[in-house]
A = this chain, B = another copy of it.
């Protein structure tokens, strides 16, 4: 009948230790910490003193196990190298922090497979909800969410299929910036695309739609490369584009990295921007306002997408309906000297 108490890991005090020190029961400690108004001021005071004295830190795993709520949210993003997602994370963080939730960050490296693996792995933590980037995911993904009744909010884009999304229309943004180039009098407008994720392809769709509407679409003016974008790649793609189509008079680059690289290359080659070739990017990263000439681009409400998505998710976790299934946070054309 010999009990063999195991060795505690952290060596820290447990709730029972605190209870003993305060001369109350464990459940009173629990309540003093989590629902203070349910405990009389005197006891509460005693408990808090014992907590301080013992430097008590509650165990999240025990709490999660007992309550079946982890107060944790899983955030899946395609990359940590991209300012866009970091700004989004910052927005999410601000809201979750304030609500006492913690976030688990999963980096899918732009791979739907990886993303599925991450979901499976992080499911072990029993997150209370999930924030996702984009609308397209591996086949079993949504099944898993549904089976577990896991609230999810989709960020960055819009869908009209019952999923809760916070973002803006990538396609409309792509079309808008293309129309701007048309208005500037450009007629042979090309598209430079890298990474080729879902959002880039929608910007491409928007670009095509705008040119179709103007009767100026030319498939020979599209350059697409699935490898990750970078400034170097922008420079290389500019070379390739001008070599293939010297008549091209404007380029919509799928993001600012590409555009800045292309712009720098134009400077080196002495190509007049925007007279000979207009350039536009996407996202309005910090350097875009500072390069020469300053880059025309599309500002996207990344931080707001993150914070709003987090708020919606918390509402769903609490069993309430989200404010609206779709939240369109819009975008803004930043018209500068490069166009």
Contacts and interface: CB of A to CB of B under 8 A. Distances in A.
Given A80-B93, A93-B80, A65 B65 contact: yes
Interface in A17-69: 55, 57-65, 68-69
Given A61-B61, A120-B57, A11 B147 contact: yes
Interface in A147-192: 147-150
Given A10-B123, A55-B147, A61-B70, 6 more contacts: A57-B120, A80-B90, A81-B83, A264-B290, A264-B292, A291-B291
A102 interface: yes
Closest 7 CB pairs of A and B: A9-B68, A61-B61, A60-B124, A61-B64, A264-B290, A61-B65, A287-B287
A195 interface: no
18 contacts: A7-B68, A8-B68, A9-B69, A10-B123, A11-B149, A57-B123, A60-B124, A60-B125, A61-B70, A63-B124, A80-B89, A81-B86, A103-B105, A231-B286, A231-B287, A287-B291, A291-B291, A292-B292
A122 to B, nearest CB: 7
Interface string A222-254: 000000001100010000000000000000000
A289 interface: yes
Nearest to A86: B80
A310 interface: no
A272 interface: no
Chain copies in complex: 2
Interface of A: 6-12, 55, 57-65, 68-70, 80-81, 83, 86-87, 89-90, 93, 102-105, 107, 120-126, 144, 147-150, 230-231, 235, 257, 260-261, 264, 267, 286-287, 289-292
A270 to B, nearest CB: 12
Contacts of A290: 231, 235, 260-261, 264
Given A11-B148, A90-B80, A126 B59 contact: yes
Contacts of A64: 61
A148 B86 contact: no
A12 B126 CA distance: 10
Contacts of A124: 57-60, 63
Contact of A105 (B10, B105, B261): B105
Nearest to A123: B57
Contacts of A70: 61
Nearest to A12: B148
A118 to B, nearest CB: 10
B65 A59 contact: yes
B60 A126 contact: yes
User: Which residue among A65, A87, A122, A235 has the maximum number of chain B CB atoms within 10 Å of its CB?
Assistant: A65
A149 B12 CA distance: 10
A58 B120 CA distance: 10
A93 B107 contact: yes
Contact of A81 (B7, B90, B121, B235): B90
A297 B230 CA distance: 19
Contacts of A150: 10
A260 B294 CA distance: 13
